[in-house]
A and B are shown apart, each in its own frame.
Chain A
């Protein structure tokens, strides 16, 4: 299967920890990458590979993987973390294409 499934919405209290998950068969072969998108802006890569953060991404963002599920964890969520988050990988069933999850809207309360 080429689909990635995310919860549509998640909320977290300011300063608390939140986990956003992504499920799909391709995640048994590929690390998920994670993107943050704020309104009116292009997506920004926040996690890739085995828990790697691009330059400028705070270390409160981390990634993990188990079986067919990848997770993005924000430890000590800040108001500026309120955004849409998308997971992404390539299809692993021999079809050479890219898949995105449906996105999770994170609200910081």
Chain B
């Protein structure tokens, strides 16, 4: 059974860089997109970005200028760096495994839906607080 174990600093000062790492246990690293998601206190989920095993990344446009996601396939790990943090970056940060694919011809013909995407494995979350 695949498990994600995440860790990193939980208390930062404004302008510092947030750094979190997620290790994948019990499953293949390739064939999936590995995402970071955050949830500010009392608010909804916000996708930060993703990386695949070959290092190809996609980022949330609203965070792109401050985000770097990297991968170390030898350790089955992927990492998040978010620079110049402010109080608005205070949140619970999650890592998750994403699966994306094309639907069968039959499904597309019946529904018009060409693709599927889901996040089936999540880390437990890391609370990050930004405070001076």
Using CB atoms, name the residue of chain A closest to B104: A50
CA distance A28 to B100 in the complex (A): 16
Give chain B interface residues in 80-132, CB to chain A under 8 Å: 94, 98, 100, 103, 107, 111-120, 122-125
Chain A residues whose C-beta falls within 8 Å of the C-beta of B122 in the assembled complex? 42-44
CA distance A51 to B19 in the complex (A): 36
Q: Are A30 and B119 in contact (CB under 8 A)?
A: no
Quick check: is B26 within 8 A (CB to CB) of the other chain? no
Given A29-B113, A97-B58, A100-B46: A45 in contact with B119 (beta carbons within 8 A): yes
Using CB atoms, name the residue of chain B closest to A98: B47
Shortest beta-carbon distance from B45 to chain A in Å = 4
Shortest beta-carbon distance from B123 to chain A in Å = 7
Total contacting residues, chain A, CB less than 8 A: 31
Interface range for B: 20 to 34
Shortest beta-carbon distance from A101 to chain B in Å = 8
Shortest beta-carbon distance from A7 to chain B in Å = 13
CA distance A102 to B35 in the complex (A): 18
Known: A33-B118, A88-B118, A90-B115. 9 other contacts (CB 8 A): A29-B115, A30-B115, A30-B116, A31-B113, A45-B119, A45-B120, A48-B116, A86-B44, A101-B44
